[in-house]
A and B are shown apart, each in its own frame.
Chain A
C-alpha cells in the first residue's frame, strides 16, 4: 500500500469526523457574532445527540431525529438566553452551568439506552461527483448529513456579508448601544443568535449519534464542544476558516483512531491526549497571530435592561 492509498481514506474520515465539530463551531460563531458567549456547547451537543438518538429510535426516522437534535439544542440554549439576555446573568458562568445541565440530562435520560442502537444515516455516493479521482472519495461518498453541512458555511457567509439581517446581527455584537440607538431591538437579535447557534450545535450532537455512531454511549461528545469553542477563535469568527479548523481536527481524531487500530506501541491514553493538546497549540498560535482582537467587541457583555 502506498502513502496515497492511506491518505485518501484518512481525508475522507477527517471530513466525516470533522462534521459534528463543524456544525458546533458554526453554531458558536453565529451566537458570538450577536455578542453572546455560550460556553454550553459541550452540554448542548450531548443533549442534542441524545434527543436525536431517542427520536430516531422511537420514530424510526433518522431525519426526524436530526431535526429533533437541533430543536432540543435550541431549547437548551434558550435557557442560556433566558439567564443572560432576559436576566443579564454572567455569560461565562451560565454557559458552564448549561454544560453541567446538558451532560447531566444526557446521563440521566440516556442511561437506560446505553449500548442500544437507532436507525441512522449511511454513506450515499453522489452519482458523477463521487467518480472524480481522490476528491470524489473524500468529499462525495459521505452520508447525507455531511452534504447538508457543506451548505451551511457558504450560507452563513452570505448571510453575514450580504443581507440586512446579517449586518444587523453583527452590529449587535460589535456595538449594541449604536444598534439600539439606530432603533434595532438588541435583545431580539441576541435571542436569534443564541437560538440559531444552539440549533446548529444540537445538529452537531445529533450527527454524533445518528451518523458517526449508530448507538448510544455515555460521554459521546468527548470534549468536541469545547474544541468547537476553541476553533471559533482559530476561525477569527469566519465560517470559512471554521471549515478548515473542523476538518483539521476531524483528521487528527481519525488519525489517532487509525493509529490505535494498527496496534502501535504508543499507549492509547497518550494518543487520546493528542486532540486536546493540539487544541491548546492551535489556540495559542491563533491568539498570538490574531491577537484576539478580531472578536466581536461586545462579546460576553450584557446590555442593561431597558427602562
Chain B
C-alpha cells in the first residue's frame, strides 16, 4: 500500500458536507446518462434539458410529478419503516397490487354505498390486503427462518399474476370488448381533486401518514425500540426488545402503506383495475427510501424527484425518441453512485506522513 493517502474513519459527522457528497453523486450519475445519450447520437445537454423541462417545466408537469410521487411516497414510507428494523421488504410492488385488488373488491361488493363510507371502506380493505401480503413473509421469516428478500420478491410475481387472473377472468368487464379491465368505478369510489388543481386528496394521505411515522419514530417508545432493534440486533435482544412483535408490526405498516398506494392508483388514476396499474412504483420506492436515508421528509423530496425522472423520461421519448427506460437506467445509476459516495461520508483521506 504505497498510496500517498491514508483512509481514516471520520470521528465527527460531516454535517452539510453530506448534501454536497450526495448531490455530487447524483450529478456524476446524470453525467454518465448524458454520456449514454451522446453515444446514441442524441444531444446530451439539450436532452437533459428536455428531461428537466418535461418534469418540472410547467404547472401541468409539476402536477403530474406530484400525482406520480403519491404512490411512490406511500410505498417508500412503508419500505423505509421495514428497513429501519433491517427487514428487507422488497415486496412493496406486490403489496401495492394487492391493495389495488382490495380496493376494487370493496367497490364491487359495496357499490351502492355513498362516497363518505365507501372510500374509508376502500382504505380499510386495501390497507388490510397489503398488510396481509406483508405478514406472510414476516411469518415465514420468524417461524421458518426464510429469507424475506426472496420471499417478498417472489410474492410480487404471485400478486401480479393474481391481479392478472382477476382482470383477465373473474372480474373482467363484459362490455370492455375483450380488453383486460374491470368495470369503471362509480363516482362515489373516486378520491376527489383538491380545489381547482389536478392534485388529488391522496396527497393529504401522504402528509398525514408521513407525520404519523415521523412522530412514531421520534416521540414514542415503540419507535425508539424499533430504531434500536435495527441498529444492533444483538443489543436489542439483550435489552429483551420484543423483536418478533416488532417484525410483525413493521410488515403490517409496510404492506398497509403500499396497499394504500394501490388504492390511490386504482381509484384516482385508472378508476378501475387493469394490468397497466403495475408500473414498478414498488421498486422505485426502494431507491427512494435509500436515497432519503429512511427519513419521512426526505422521502417526500426524493419521491418527487424520481417521479420527475419518470415524467421527464416520457417527455424525452416524445421529443427525441429515447426509450422511456432511460429514466430507469438513471434511477439505478443514481442509487449506485450515491451508495458508493457514502464512503466519503464515513471515511476521510489524510496525507501519509513521510517516514
Contacts and interface: CB of A to CB of B under 8 A. Distances in A.
A292 B142 CA distance: 13
Given A276-B158, A280-B140, A287 B332 contact: no
B146 A270 contact: no
A79 interface: yes
Interface residues of A, number: 50
A116 to B, nearest CB: 15
B95 to A, nearest CB: 15
Interface string A272-307: 110011011001100110011000000000001111
A77 interface: no
A107 B323 contact: yes
B185 interface: no
Contacts of A111: 323, 325
A93 B340 contact: no
Interface stretch (A10-18, A97-105, A148-156, A201-209): A97-105
A73 to B, nearest CB: 16
Given A39-B149, A107-B325, A233-B150, A98 B165 contact: no
Contact of A292 (B7, B140, B147, B161): B147
B59 interface: no
A269 B162 contact: yes
A108 B329 contact: yes
B331 interface: yes
B225 interface: no
B164 interface: yes
A131 to B, nearest CB: 40
A93 B333 CA distance: 12
B164 A287 contact: no
Nearest to B283: A100
Contact of B339 (A87, A270, A273, A287): A87
A94 B8 CA distance: 23
A1 to B, nearest CB: 30
Nearest to B290: A93
A2 to B, nearest CB: 33
Interface of A: 39, 43, 79, 82-83, 86-90, 92-94, 96-105, 107-108, 111, 223, 226, 229-230, 233, 267, 269-270, 272-273, 276-277, 279-280, 283-284, 287-288, 291-292, 304-307
Given A39-B149, A102-B332, A226-B153, 18 more contacts: A79-B336, A87-B341, A89-B336, A94-B336, A94-B339, A96-B335, A98-B336, A100-B283, A101-B333, A103-B328, A104-B329, A105-B329, A230-B147, A269-B165, A273-B161, A273-B162, A280-B158, A283-B146
Interface of B: 1, 6-9, 36, 88, 90, 140, 144-147, 149-151, 153-155, 157-158, 161-162, 164-165, 168-169, 283, 286-287, 290, 322-323, 325-329, 331-333, 335-336, 339-343, 346-347
17 contacts: A86-B340, A96-B90, A97-B332, A98-B336, A101-B329, A102-B332, A104-B326, A108-B328, A111-B323, A226-B153, A233-B150, A273-B162, A276-B155, A277-B154, A279-B150, A287-B145, A305-B343
